[in-house]
Structure 1
Amino acid sequence: MSTLSQETQKLPITAQIGSFLISLLVGLIVGVIVLGAGQFFLDANALTETGAALGITDKTSWYFTRSAGTVAYLLLALSTVWGLLLSSKIIKESVPAVLSLAMHNVLAWGALGMTALHIGALLFDSYYTYTLADLFIPFVGPYRPEWVGVGIIGFYLMFLTTLSFYWRKQLGQKRWRKLHYLTFVAFAAVTAHGVMAGTDSGSPRMLALFWGSGLLALFLTFYRILAGKEASRRRKTA
């Protein structure tokens, strides 16, 4: 069992719950702080209109959900990449295990928190009328239901894989690891949702975000697979 897993399982249940709550709180705070960064990825017309509309208008919720969605995806991409860096042990020697794990938790819960804001803001949208069923049941919404549905499924998988860390001891290392592979499905689903349902997905900045994060995650995944095979070969020949 890895050092990271051993250190985590040594923590009492109260400390694990405390870590969970702190990670959630910090993730939400960080997400709110960087919410404005989402506007950087919006097209120039949206930025101009947003700057002109300093007060609350009928478009505010639309700008807010787009910004929150962008930041949520950015945090999810960072969480996925950080998780791959952890599992491939690239940062093992440079970052303490407890700190790297906490960082992974903050990014994951931050992504979930911003996704919740992204979803909630749609209830106040003035162009489409959304109900709670539209937002939580896949493939029934008024706007591009197939790709929004893929995003909803991705959100559920994000929540499941993030929450599963706190069941790690009960599930066992092997079962937990297999369950955690759903992170890749979640990332792919959310990426597809962003590309196909996002109104800004054709902008150069959003394309750079999607392609950059996707290719980086793909590269690290292949690196992890090859490094794992090499380590297994060395153990057999040792």
Structure 2
Amino acid sequence: MSSATMDSALWALGRGTGVVALVMFTLSLVLGVVSRSGRPLPGLHRFGTSDLHRTAALTGTGLVAVHLASLLFDPFAQLRVVDFVVPFLASYRPLWLGLGTLAVDTLAVITVVSLLRHRLGPRVFRVVHWATYVLWPVVLLHALESGTDAGTTWFRALAAVCATAVVVAVGWRLTPSYAERGWSRHPRRAA
């Protein structure tokens, strides 16, 4: 395989994994909002919804790892290892790549806390898990301004669909009647 072919493959892999990671994180966020408090989705029980939410988040995390590795080895990306850890140091579009770095750092913290959920307790997990509401718009801004496809019509349309899905889910969640709908817990009665 020639060097040019390998460079093109790394570029395509980095590009594709970044786009699909955005879709997976959007799906995960929407599922997390919609299934809050154990509410099931049509056709899925609440545990199925929870598993789908977790799978989408882990898939997005894996795609980000591949995204970073492929861009690290892509000579045209001109990224250094420090650019993946310390934000706003990149030579190319430092603000937008810095947002990507902040997203990766936040994603790492969320992932570690999620894996240690049972040791850290529900309060710590909940507080850190809420960081996903900050993570998602940072990821979207990074994608809209630093990616190769950022200015294309198809990507702008995809980003608009993702943003609309999140806004609708969060808007629905914030409606006053949300607490009155769906599944609710009832304490056990003493026999």
- So what's the TM-score if we normalise by structure 1? 0.67
Note if contact 2:72-2:79 (Cα within 8 Å) is conserved in structure 1. yes
| 2:130 is aligned with 1:177 | no
| CA distance 1:203–1:147, change in 2 (3 Å) | same
- Give 2:26's aligned residue: 77
RMSD, matched Cα:
2.6
The structure richer in helix per residue is: 1
- Is the alpha carbon distance of 1:225 and 1:175 closer, same or farther for their aligned partners in structure 2, counting shifts above 3 Å? farther
Q: Which residue of 1 aligns with 2:83?
A: 134
**Is the CA contact 2:99–2:142 (under 8 Å) kept in the aligned structure 1?**
yes
Q: Is residue 69–residue 114 contact of structure 1 (8 Å, CA) maintained in 2? A: yes
Mapped partners of 2:93, 2:29: distance in 1: 26
Q: Aligned pair 1:109/2:58, yes or no?
A: yes
Q: Please say if 1:86 is aligned against 2:35.
A: yes
Structure 1's 93 and 202: CA in aligned 2 closer, same or farther, altered over 3 A? closer
Q: Which residues of structure 1 form unaligned runs of 5+?
A: 1-52
Supply the AA of the counterpart residue of 1:87.
R
Structure 2: state its 5+ residue gaps. Answer: 185-191
1:214 and 1:146 map into 2 onto residues whose CA distance is 21
1:175–1:138 Cα change, 3 Å: same
Q: CA deviation at 1:170?
A: 4.3
d(CA) in 2 for partners of 1:111, 1:95: 21
Alignment match of 2:100 (pick from 147, 151, 157): 151
Report the CA distance shift for 1:209/1:225 in structure 2 as closer, same or farther (over 3 A).
Answer: same
Instruction: Report the residue type matching 1:183 in the other structure.
Output: T
CA distance in 1, matches of 2:127, 2:27: 21
**Letter of the structure 2 residue corresponding to residue 223 of structure 1:** W
Contact 2:110 2:131 in 1 (8 A): yes
**Distance verdict in 2 for CA 1:165–1:93, change over 3 Å:** farther
Identical-pair percentage: 26
Distance change (3 Å), C-alpha of 1:93 and 1:167: farther
Cα pair 1:76 1:107 within 8 Å, conserved? yes
- Distance in 1 between the 2:16 and 2:41 partners? 33
CA gap 1:216/1:133 in 2 versus in 1, 3 angstroms: same
Contact 1:134 1:142 in 2 (8 A): no
Identify the residue that residue 22 of structure 1 maps to in structure 2: none
Task: Return the letter of the residue paired with 1:185.
Answer: V
State the AA in 1 paired with 2:48.
L
Given the superposition, is the C-alpha separation of residues 92 and 163 from structure 1 closer, same or farther in structure 2, using an over 3 Å criterion?
farther
Q: CA deviation at 1:210?
A: 0.9
How many pairs were matched up?
180
Partner of 1:160: 109
Q: 1:173 to 1:222 in 2, by over 3 A?
A: farther
